[in-house]
Amino acid sequence: MRKDSKKGIILAVLILLAGMQDFAQSVIMLIPDGMSVAGTTLARFYKGAPLALDPIACGLVSTWSSDGTIADSAPAGSSYATGWASQTGNIATIGKSYVLPGVEIPDYEAQRPVATILEAARLSGRSTGIISTSEFMHATPADFSAHDPSRSNYDNLAEQIAYNGIDVVLGGGTPYLNADKRKDKEDLKAIIDANGYTFVDNTAALKSAPDGKLFGVFGKDKSATAMSYDIDRDPAVEPSLAEMTAKAIEILSANKKGFFLMVEGSKVDWAAHANDPVAFVTDILAFDDAVKVALDFAKQDGNTVVIAVTDHGNSGISIGDRSISSGYDKTPWTTFIDPLKKAKVTGEGLEAKLASLIKVDGTYEPSEAPVIRQTVARYLGITDLTDAEVEAIGKTKAGSMNYTVGPMVAGRAKIGYTTNGHTGEDVVLYCYDPFDKRITGLVRNTDVALYMASTLNVDLGQATSRLFQDAASMFAKKGATVSMDTTDPENPVLVVTKADQTLRVPRNKSYAYLNGKAIASDGVAVYNGTKWYVAKNLIDLID
């Protein structure tokens, strides 16, 4: 499998330019999922001071996927991670459809895994890490650390992350560790322990964790799939994004060869989907605090590049809505901010305060109205709820309160929205490069991956060749027979036989067995439903 020649030329030019200076030892990439320019403007007003992001703004990024103007997070993150555009649902995997004008068509076959910048960094001897406030196997963190045609295959993605040699993994997702919640019935917590990680699940344990591999999974309780919004979290139970970033840097920077770290402010996107401006702005500020941690380290270190960029827009948020179509120029800035500052929680946080009233089926009793009014006044600062709004809150089904009260706050703050979905506008690129070679202007999302690869002096195409060989084709060239053991359908095993050699390769894992002896693989084995892809060092085991 060869790299696309055009992509190879672009990468070579970027490496040549970077060669005018030393290559960076480390890259920290921070992704505020679903953020927009209106969001950073509101956050700046809310904070009353500049953002850490402000001085490093340097360009724009087009966020299209291979088949659409408005990207899903999976292909959007994959573009940043692999340098290849992909399509909805794909995690670090080549898509089937490349129809958008100007999109680069890969020579790779559809649905095959391609190496990520994190994996290429690991192969170069660097340490690696991923951080998110969503489940740790959610689309964006998975884009850098796992491979599957579908972002929904959480079992596969989580298992690959646990086996992919990543030094630091921090995020939400506690329920997905339990064997009884997984189709393959694997105890992921036991696997994490066996793979040499220190496991932590609260802030104090995170801060006191020793050097070495670290796996942290957090949530307000053991049933929480993701971490809380920053304004809602209990600081003793759930660390901030900045605290997780600081700990990851502390551990990863011990490697003299450098590191790659991806940090996602995941729930900026979720807040935008819900049109909840309180959650949106406060999580942007929490993300900006993490950016400051990264920049402070990079400036002191002198050999670390920091990149911050969202993967796509979301919600069409605007400062000003249709109610001020006339008189917008006479509307003071406090109109947009004061209603947000009155809130002590997000819609999700309010739901927790109303837990005794909120029902799965959304049933509502008028007798609940006084409690709803009192609770909303106390925690959102809204004292003029209409009867219809009270009823809407009372009828909200569990897990949906952001979608109900977010627009209520937004309406009072004159903040507009056009959708509950993603949007297709270009997004702001932020970059700090100590060698003054930062990427600028209007670029494609795939260009960001190429810039990081050149910065770290790694080759994504070579990493793909080393990690993901077409098993059936390559073993056949050696005269071996390939079959699949599906005795356990959820844990299939690739079986390769030739003469007196039998190689067994379990799906999603980074080891194999040659005649019963365990052999380490350079990467995880990926089965995409039709084909197996394995590391070259496993291919080389067969004579």
Q: Is the pLDDT of residue 7 over 70?
A: no
**215: pLDDT strictly greater than 50:** yes
Token representation of residue 37: 């320019």
Distance CA 265, CA 229 (A): 10
For the segment 356-369, the average pLDDT, to the nearest whole number, is: 84
How does residue 330 score in pLDDT terms, banded at 50, 70 and 90? very high
State how far the Cα of 34 lies from the Cα of 45, in Å rounded to an integer: 19
Mean pLDDT of the chain: 94
What is the rounded average pLDDT of the residues 510-518? 98
The token pair at 441 is: 């202007």
> Could you read off the pLDDT of 404-435 as tens digits, one per residue?
999 999 999 999 999 999 999 999 999 999 99
Under 8 Å between Cβ of 463 and 120: yes
* Amino acid 10: pLDDT: 54
Residues 6+ apart with CB under 8 A from 236: 202, 203, 204
Determine which of 22-26, 339-343, 393-397, 439-443 has the lowest per-residue pLDDT on average. Answer: 22-26
Each residue's pLDDT tens digit, 141-185: 999 999 999 999 999 999 999 999 999 999 999 999 999 989 999
Q: What is the residue type of 484?
A: M
| pLDDT attached to residue 364 | 86
Residues 182, 176: Cα–Cα separation, whole Å: 7
List 26, 36, 73, 127, catalytic entry: 73
User: Nearest to residue 507, comparing CAs of 487, 480, 526?
Assistant: 526
pLDDT at res. 101: 83
Least confident of 2-6, 278-282, 389-393, 504-508: 2-6
Sheet of 493-498, strand order: 481-485, 493-498, 501-506, 511-514, 517-520
Give the count of beta carbons closer than 10 Å to the beta carbon of residue 541. 16
pLDDT at 6 over 60: no
| pLDDT on residue 413 | 98
Q: Which residues contact residue 520 at a Cβ distance below 8 angstroms, ignoring those fewer than 6 apart?
A: 510, 511
Where is average pLDDT lowest: 101-105, 237-241, 297-301, 453-457?
Answer: 101-105
Residue position matching structure tokens 């095959």: 112
Cβ atoms within 10 Å of 212's Cβ, excluding its own: 12
Task: State both tokens at 205.
Answer: 């344990």
Q: Please, which pLDDT band fits residue 22 given cuts at 50, 70 and 90?
A: low
Q: What's domain 5-317+420-466's architecture? A: 3-Layer(aba) Sandwich (3.40)
Q: What residue numbers does the annotated binding site cover?
A: 33, 138, 140, 264, 269, 273, 311-312, 422
Query: What pLDDT, on a 0 to 100 scale, did the predictor assign at position 1?
Result: 36
Feature table: binding site for Mg(2+): 33, 138, 140, 264
pLDDT on residue 357? 83
Mean pLDDT of 23-43: 97
In the predicted model, is pLDDT for residue 212 greater than 50? Answer: yes
What does the pLDDT read at residue 358?
76
Whether 211 has a pLDDT exceeding 70, the answer reads yes
Angle at 447 between CA 442 and CA 448, to 5 degrees: 95
Residue 2's pLDDT is: 35
Give the architecture (CATH level 2) of 469-539. Answer: 2-Layer Sandwich (3.30)
- Report whether pLDDT(8) > 60: no
Nearest to 41 by CA among 327, 284, 314, 307: 284
Q: So where are the chain's domains?
A: 5-317+420-466, 329-415, 469-539
% of residues, the chain, pLDDT over 70: 96
73 is catalytic: yes
What contacts 453, CB < 8 A, 6 or more positions away?
A: 11, 14, 15, 83, 117, 120, 459, 460
Report pLDDT for 5. 43
CATH of domain 329-415: 1.10.60.40
Residue 223 to residue 185: CA distance in whole angstroms: 18
What pTM, to 2 d.p., does this model score?
0.95
